[in-house]
Amino acid sequence: MLLSVNRRHPEIRRLLRLLRFPIQLEGEPLALRLREATEAESALDAIMAVVRKALSGSGEINQLMRAAILSQDLDGNKARRVAASLGLSIRSYFRYRSAAVELIAIAVERELEEPFMVDGQFRLEQHWRKKLKEALAMKPNCERCGTTLSETDAATICSYECTFCPNCAASMRFVCPNCGGELLARPRRIVIDARKTAS
């Protein structure tokens, strides 16, 4: 997707116009992509996060641009009224607004792009970023004897992720002392060397 092809960014302007209509926003493909990319709870939250990021500066120009977007699109005020409230001519107002839309479009592009490498590190696909949030908590020590357990070491866990070394688990007959549940082998996490994968 190349938002910069059209300098007026009609797709961005459409999303901004729909800020007051969150239900309609949920049907917009670009809004849904942003929601997934930002892992926001709603399309409205995703767009507002991008707007805040794009216009985050504390200077007067950033404040004028934020007001030009939020007062008109989110609050529903007419352009002339917003311009008057900011002490701007309507022409100056639209200049600030156009600059704000341009910055928001750039922020949207950055949010949606998925480069394979960033600063020599692999950037995870959205699917895997979500999976990592749900990942098993790999506790670093046996809860009974304190032995260090790396992510690749053998260990046992119960369904609540209480973690024990194999020796302690065997001495407890593979029953968790906390919940009484069964202790099973903890899956080992494979550490991928990005340098080998890239070559």
Give the model confidence (pLDDT) of 31-50 as tens digits: 999 998 888 999 999 999 99
Are 103 and 45 part of one and the same domain? Answer: yes
Which structural domain range is residue 173 located in?
133-199
Confidence band, pLDDT 50/70/90 cuts, at residue 199? very low
Decide if 90 is inside a domain: yes
Q: What mean pLDDT is reported for the chain?
A: 81
- The residue among 117, 145, 172 that closes a domain is 117
CA dist 162 and 190 (Å) reads 21
The single residue listed with the structure tokens 């304190």 is: 146
Q: Judge whether residue 97 has pLDDT over 60.
A: yes
Q: Does 124 map to a domain?
A: no
The CATH number assigned to the domain holding 160 equals: 3.30.40
Could you tell me which residues are beta bridge partners of residue 198?
Answer: none
In a domain, 31, yes or no: yes
pLDDT at site 9: 85
The pLDDT tens digits for 113-131 are 754 444 545 554 555 555 5
- Is 58 part of any domain? yes
Same domain flag for 112 and 138: no
Q: Is residue 126 part of a domain?
A: no
- pLDDT attached to residue 176: 92
Pairwise CA distance, residues 67 & 74, whole Å: 10
Question: 142 pLDDT exceeds 80?
Answer: yes
Same domain, 159 and 86: no
Asked if residue 161 has pLDDT above 80, the reply is yes
Q: pLDDT at position 188, please?
A: 81
State whether 96 and 174 are in the same domain. Answer: no
| 43-52, 62-71, 127-136: least confident range | 127-136
Q: Determine the distance from the C-alpha atom of residue 146 to the mean position of all C-alpha atoms in its chain, rounded to a whole number.
A: 35
What is the reported pLDDT for 197? 40
The Cα 193–Cα 182 span in angstroms is 34
Domain-terminating residue out of 84, 117, 150: 117
**Burial class for 172, CB neighbours closer than 10 Å (0-12, 13-18, 19+):** middle
Same domain, 10 and 95: yes
Distance CA 64, CA 59 (A): 9
Over residues 60-87, the mean pLDDT reads: 89
Q: Alpha carbon 50 to chain centroid distance?
A: 10
Are residue 148 and residue 173 in the same domain, yes or no?
Answer: yes
What is the reported pLDDT for 133? 56
163, β-bridge pairs: 157
Domain count for the chain, please give it. 2
Q: Is the pLDDT of residue 18 over 90?
A: yes
Residues 104 and 181 in one domain: no
pLDDT value, residue 44: 93
